[in-house]
Amino acid sequence: MNDTAAFDLTLDAVTQRYRGAPSAAVDQVTLEVAAGELVALLGPSGCGKTTLLRIIAGFVQQTSGRVVIGGRPVDDLPPNRREIGVVFQNYALFPHMTAADNVGYGLAARGVGRDARIAKAKEMLELVQMTHLAERLPREMSGGQQQRVALARALAVGPRILLLDEPFGALDKSLRLDMQIEVKRLQRHAGITCIMVTHDQEEALSMADRVAVVHQGRLEQFAPPNEVYDRPRTLFVNQFVGASNSLDARLVGDGGTWRARIAGAPAWPIRLVGDAGDGDPVIVCVRPEHLRRVGVGEGLPGTIELSLPLGPQIVHEIRLGDGQAVKVVESRSHGAQLLPPGQAVNLALAEGAQPNAFPRPQETTS
């Protein structure tokens, strides 16, 4: 395998409507993934991630739109002719087969002879460092070990694109980090295009070259992790990716530089995303690490509800004068301390911080 082995992938207005469903599970998704790229499909449960992955793999025939792999439309091809490897959400290993037989299974299904199959399974188990457990059944392996076998099985068929559905969901935190590094290593080593489904924004941000944020079947943003984090295109993306406080505010300005005023305090500089004018209601999304405490009489007044020590940080839950709640994160290495409930505090934006502001969504009565 080398880096010419990877294929690019294009989704062109792909839509899926399940029979009887009130809305589309996948709605007009258009996406271009470069060869060798690792893309995370990120979104909450039920937003259509698995459906999209199954459409790419060929297990679900989409209602409309096209899937193009390596320049070739594959909509009429069955899964085993799309040159795709899939690791399903719960690994889906065959319970009555050993690790080695599981890894060789896809090759058998493609008519590869026994000796070649055994050799390939051995090579793949070596790649995922599972040679010593080749004769074990799935139930005799830990979650992480089954995960490795599922990966080896997906890679054994020499896919041009690797699809992973919530691959680390069943693993505990420390093992998850190991496997994330492992998958990234294998993906780079194989030079393979990879689409990974996850609802975990940290996982998406840390692993992916680009992140596709999906909400209610629609693609809301497709961009590198930093851009998704710093310049979200929608309120949903800002709220879903990373922690943020969503605060009701009024827009101040004439279009040159926008500011936003919260609870009558001095207005903060913001980056306006969308259409709004002076005095309009907006939602300001400010990250907990972008707020700092300032002296009495300055900034935005509030009171401490709770201070929590979270490892290297302290998180303060603060209630503003108008009733809105805000989280502020301070670093202990900068001398942050727990504060007693009821203590008055004043908040300002950290140096250089410029929160995003979005027009407040219209109230709907459905």
Ligand X SMILES: Nc1ncnc2c1ncn2[C@@H]1O[C@H](COP(=O)(O)OP(=O)(O)O)[C@@H](O)[C@H]1O
Binding site for ligand X (CB under 6 A): 18, 21, 25, 43, 45-51
Contact 163, 53 (CB under 8 A): yes
CB of 28 to ligand X, least distance (A): 15
Q: What are phi and psi of 177, to 5 degrees?
A: -65, -45
Q: What are phi and psi of 243, to 5 degrees?
A: -80, 140
Q: State how far the Cα of 100 lies from the Cα of 271, in Å rounded to an integer.
A: 54
Q: Which residues bind Mg ion (CB under 5 A)?
A: 50
For 274: left if phi > 0, alpha if psi spans -120 to 50, otherwise beta; the answer is left
Among residues 42 and 339, whose Cβ is nearest to Mg ion? 42
Among residues 158 and 169, whose Cβ is nearest to ligand X? 169
What, of Mg ion, ligand X, none, does residue 48 touch, CB below 5 to 8 Å by kind? ligand X
Tokens of 218: 């629609």
Tokens of 316: 């303060």
What, of Mg ion, ligand X, none, does residue 51 touch, CB below 5 to 8 Å by kind? ligand X
CB of 83 to ligand X, least distance (A): 23
Among residues 100 and 228, whose Cβ is nearest to ligand X? 228
What, of Mg ion, ligand X, none, does residue 18 touch, CB below 5 to 8 Å by kind? ligand X
Among residues 199 and 293, whose Cβ is nearest to Mg ion? 199
Among residues 50 and 146, whose Cβ is nearest to Mg ion? 50
Q: Which of 169, 161, 112 is nearest to 10 (CA)?
A: 161
CB of 23 to ligand X, least distance (A): 8
Which distant-in-sequence residues (6+ apart) come within 8 Å of 68 by Cβ?
A: 9, 10, 11, 12, 74
Q: Minimal CB distance to Mg ion: which residue?
A: 50
CB of 44 to ligand X, least distance (A): 7
CB of 49 to Mg ion, least distance (A): 5
What, of Mg ion, ligand X, none, does residue 25 touch, CB below 5 to 8 Å by kind? ligand X
On the CB side of 359, CA atoms within 13 Å amount to 9
What, of Mg ion, ligand X, none, does residue 47 touch, CB below 5 to 8 Å by kind? ligand X
Among residues 25 and 336, whose Cβ is nearest to Mg ion? 25
Contact 218, 43 (CB under 8 A): no
Q: Which amino acid is at 357?
A: A
CB of 225 to Mg ion, least distance (A): 21
What, of Mg ion, ligand X, none, does residue 46 touch, CB below 5 to 8 Å by kind? ligand X
Q: Which of 3, 34, 28 is nearest to 16 (CA)?
A: 28
Tokens of 32: 């271009």
